[in-house]
Structure 1
Amino acid sequence: MGESCVPITPQRVVVLDDTVLANAIALGIHPVGSVASNTTSGLEIPIFLQGKIDFEKIQSIGTQEQPSLEKIMLVKPDLILGFDYFVNYNQLSQIAPTVLIKWDEAGAWKKHLMLFAEALNKTQAAEKLLADYNQRIQEFKTAIGSQLEHFQVSLAYLAGDGSALVRSDVKNSFAGSIVEDAGLSRPPAQDIVGKDYYQIDLSAEMIHLMDGDALFLFSSGNKEANRILKQLQNSPLWKQLKVVQQNRTHIVDHSTWRSRNILAANGVIDDLFKYLIEQEKF
């Protein structure tokens, strides 16, 4: 997408994706401008960003799907960071040096962190973040021992649209990659690598495919999510699931488990400790 002369220590960074925003914050960079997305446009700050960012000091520059060039110009950035979708590199690079990373897949979040860190001259900081992540993963494995060697962890989120009531994340999703790092097994239907998508659609008649020894069900907690959850829980097929009968269904934060950044990754690990170590007491 061309070449940009990137400043060694950028002071006025604009980000075009909430993944980049969270990773920038984790790397010690406070952007001056950011797009609004499904994660950052609501009334509540995502759990993984709470206490780490002051949104009043970040100028909105439009939406993730349609950032405003005019608003970006007004904040006078010295670096623009994002992925290579929805945006025009040539237009952005006329405003400021621009780095757009090629989107691979949700499970490639560690690679994306390192690429953005390189653009921000924060490679050592990123390596430290990933080293800390790996240490927490090892601590989880040590705590759990061999007791969950064949324990299948199911991942699903509330959809409720025309094609699916719920969707299950597969191995190369964001959450799927962390669960795999943690050494946990997956139900057979979810133990696959998606090619174009990182989840499988499950209609009301297919929810048996989300059964397992533990189920992490992602919910935003809003009115629509609660409606879908109630519909799901009222289903006779839901009540037949082994994981439901054994009371091992855990409702977790949708924005954390379906994000793609290092802060959210640590939030997922927090939940693994909470529900599989502290609560289950294996």
Structure 2
Amino acid sequence: MLPLRSLPLLLALSLPATALTVPHLAGTTEIKTVPKRIVVLEFGFMDALAKLGVKPVGIAADGDSANEVLPHLRKYYGPSIPSVGNRHAPSLEKILALKPDLIIADENDHKAIYAQLSRIAPTLLFRSYRGTYKDQLDQFEVISKIVGKEALGKAVLTDHRSLFSKVRATSSPKAGKVVVGVLTPTGFYVHSDKSYVGSLLESLGRDNPTRMRDDQTQYLLSLEGLSALNPDTLIVLYNDEHQSAFDRFKAEPLVRALPAGKQNRVYAFNRDRWAKGRGVIGLEGILSDIFSSRVLSGKAAK
């Protein structure tokens, strides 16, 4: 078995015909034919299949119902597709009942049950929940080959790179240091340069001064800690039910004293859309927000 954190997400075409040997974070898995009954346990993998026009036989979501998926995925995954429970703790019994021929699981949430999942069906372990922007694209490319949609996958990635370049053109050094995090009533959870959103901003040419802490790509940060980062642009992610928490946060003296606060460069976006919207479809929404808001241009927020 190969080391969990050192294995690149590359697809080795080492077997004839449609058979593939797929390296992933728990070793390698041989897939002899194009899978027809796929169960996916994290949003990034759901996104990939949706973009490729492949319907899984089961999904995990934010709750126990298939309706509890992200809004931008609901048109692909409604109540007609069975739920196998919460993506952080899926039901092995429900997965087994669906008789899958492939399971795509997440390292952060499913490493502990990988052996059990593998006894049900061939299981691939990728890094989505705590993965970077690059991880999402690499995994999409691998999945497109596994499901026999390699040509479509390449076309999708070409379109994505075109959109990415268009958005990157709006990024300016005037935006300075950019810090991004999720705001809840319990505090501000900053996203490091190795997180999904943090690494996306770095790829778009901006400096994210937040580094990993205790091997965590995202973590709770005090207002004093945020002040020490001294961001020129601050991106706050929250859902509508936490509007009052955002109003209090933005009014905090330490936030107002930041360069971002003084220059009115505190931007707010939907938490689910940004922090959970992994995959090419999710990225379309995030990049659209970045382009329309000009958050990386160095201009004041509207």
Percent identity of equivalent pairs: 25
Tell me if the contact between 1:4 and 1:93 (Cα under 8 Å) persists in the aligned partners.
Answer: no
Q: Does 1:239 align with 2:261?
A: no
Tell me if the contact between 2:66 and 2:77 (Cα under 8 Å) persists in the aligned partners.
Answer: no
Tell me if the contact between 1:33 and 1:61 (Cα under 8 Å) persists in the aligned partners.
Answer: yes
Q: TM-score, normalised by structure 2?
A: 0.75
**Residues 200 and 59 of structure 1, relative CA distance in 2, 3 Å threshold:** closer
Q: Could you say which residue in structure 1 is the equivalent of 2:233? A: 214
Secondary structure of the corresponding residue to residue 104 of structure 2: strand
Secondary structure of the corresponding residue to residue 57 of structure 1: coil
Tell me if the contact between 1:36 and 1:60 (Cα under 8 Å) persists in the aligned partners.
Answer: yes
Deviation at 1:60, TM superposition (A): 1.0
Q: CA RMSD in A?
A: 3.2
**Residues 277 and 96 of structure 1, relative CA distance in 2, 3 Å threshold:** closer
**Residues 212 and 43 of structure 1, relative CA distance in 2, 3 Å threshold:** farther
Gaps of 5+ in 1: none
Tell me if the contact between 1:7 and 1:78 (Cα under 8 Å) persists in the aligned partners.
Answer: no
Tell me if the contact between 2:62 and 2:69 (Cα under 8 Å) persists in the aligned partners.
Answer: no
Paired with 1:233 and 1:149, the residues of 2 have a C-alpha distance of 24
Alignment match of 1:174 (pick from 190, 193, 196): 196
**Cα deviation digits, residues 116-159 of structure 1 (max 9, x gap):** 33332333333333222221121223355xxx124223212214
**Cα deviation digits, residues 215-274 of structure 1 (max 9, x gap):** 22111222xx33432331332222223323333222111122223322222222111101
Q: TM-score, normalised by structure 1?
A: 0.80
Paired with 1:252 and 1:93, the residues of 2 have a C-alpha distance of 38
Return the letter of the residue paired with 1:158.
L
**Cα deviation digits, residues 201-226 of structure 1 (max 9, x gap):** 3213333246533322111222xx33
Q: Could you say which residue in structure 2 is the equivalent of 1:114? A: 141
**Cα deviation digits, residues 81-125 of structure 1 (max 9, x gap):** 112443534433343333233679521222232333333233333
Paired with 1:31 and 1:262, the residues of 2 have a C-alpha distance of 17
**Residues 202 and 41 of structure 1, relative CA distance in 2, 3 Å threshold:** farther
Q: Could you say which residue in structure 1 is the equivalent of 2:207? A: 185
Return the letter of the residue paired with 1:129.
V
Q: Does 1:46 align with 2:45?
A: no
Tell me if the contact between 1:156 and 1:210 (Cα under 8 Å) persists in the aligned partners.
Answer: no
Q: Does 1:59 align with 2:78?
A: no
Which runs of structure 2 are paired with 1:42-191 in the superposition (5 Å)? Answer: 45-51=69-75, 53-84=76-107, 85-86=109-110, 88-101=113-126, 105-107=130-132, 108-143=135-170, 148-152=172-176, 153-161=178-186, 165-186=187-208, 188=209, 190=210
Tell me if the contact between 2:66 and 2:78 (Cα under 8 Å) persists in the aligned partners.
Answer: no
Tell me if the contact between 1:151 and 1:185 (Cα under 8 Å) persists in the aligned partners.
Answer: no
Q: Could you say which residue in structure 2 is the equivalent of 1:9? A: 34
